[in-house]
Structure 1
Amino acid sequence: MATTHGWRTSSFSSNGASCVEVLEADGATYLRDTKSHGEGAVLHLDGPAWAAFLREVAHDAPSANGAVEVTADEDGGRLVRETSSDAVLLFRHDEWTAFRRGVLAGEFGATPTDRPGP
């Protein structure tokens, strides 16, 4: 995985230049978009919400984690909205696919039992 001052991306991302970035700090996990160059929204998920979010991403399931809501756009990308602040991140289809592949590979803390079957 690529890292930048603690932020990391999926190893499936194209050189980390345009993707979902994750930071684990202070007992929480934060998401941002590399395209914002550190100037855009940063979403916050506590431990239980992060674990639920990873399961939802892995299974391509509806959002029920209580921290962020993920909706698909017409191009296959994803809009990720933090429910407590309405901060929003928009990821293209290729960015979300690379992140999801990283989730399925366990790069962000998912355990084998959290992953969908073959």
Structure 2
Amino acid sequence: MINEWRTSSFSSNGASCVEVLEADGATYLRDTKENGEGAVLHLDAQAWSAFLDEVARDVPSANGAVEVTTPDARADGGRAVLEHSSGAVLHFRDDEWVAFRRGVLAGEFGAPRA
């Protein structure tokens, strides 16, 4: 089990990225731009697995835990991730999301790797 926040190796500087923490049998997401003071989203193991699959396939969310906007819905081409249970939202620029997705595709956060 990893107990520290980490980003994709494809993230350029670590200061503007999707950050992931695996702890207590769950996975948490936050935005490094918030300096640890913003929203933190919680996904159980099943939702995390579904989320990774959706990110890898670049398809709309249907995992029931979080919803990811499509690029067309944001003027900057980035993504927003909404946690249904809390209403918390994270906003990622396109470059941040692309780096995260590349990490997902490379298997850095579990599953994918095809």
Establish whether TM, by shorter chain, passes 0.5.
Answer: yes
Aligned to 1:59: 57
Q: Does 1:101 align with 2:99?
A: no
Aligned to 1:84: 85
Tell me, yes or no, if the aligned pair for 2:50 and 2:63 is still in contact at 8 Å: yes
Percent identical pairs in the alignment equals 78
Change over 3 Å in CA distance of 1:93–1:111 after alignment to 2? closer
Aligned residues: 110
Structure 2 counterpart SS, 1:109: coil
For residues 15-72 of structure 1, the C-alpha deviation after alignment (integer angstroms, 9 at most, x for no partner) is 2110000000000000000000000000000000000000000000110111100003
Instruction: List alignment gaps of at least 5 residues for structure 2.
Output: none
Decide which of 36, 39, 42 is 1:38's aligned counterpart. Answer: 36
Tell me, yes or no, if the aligned pair for 2:53 and 2:112 is still in contact at 8 Å: no
Decide which of 2, 9, 12 is 1:11's aligned counterpart. Answer: 9
Tell me, yes or no, if the aligned pair for 2:105 and 2:112 is still in contact at 8 Å: no
In the alignment, residue 44 of structure 1 is paired with which amino acid?
Answer: H
Q: Quick one: distance in 2 between partners of 1:101 and 1:12?
A: 7
Tell me, yes or no, if the aligned pair for 2:27 and 2:45 is still in contact at 8 Å: yes
Aligned to 1:20: 18
Instruction: State TM-score, norm by structure 2.
Output: 0.92
Q: CA RMSD in A?
A: 1.4
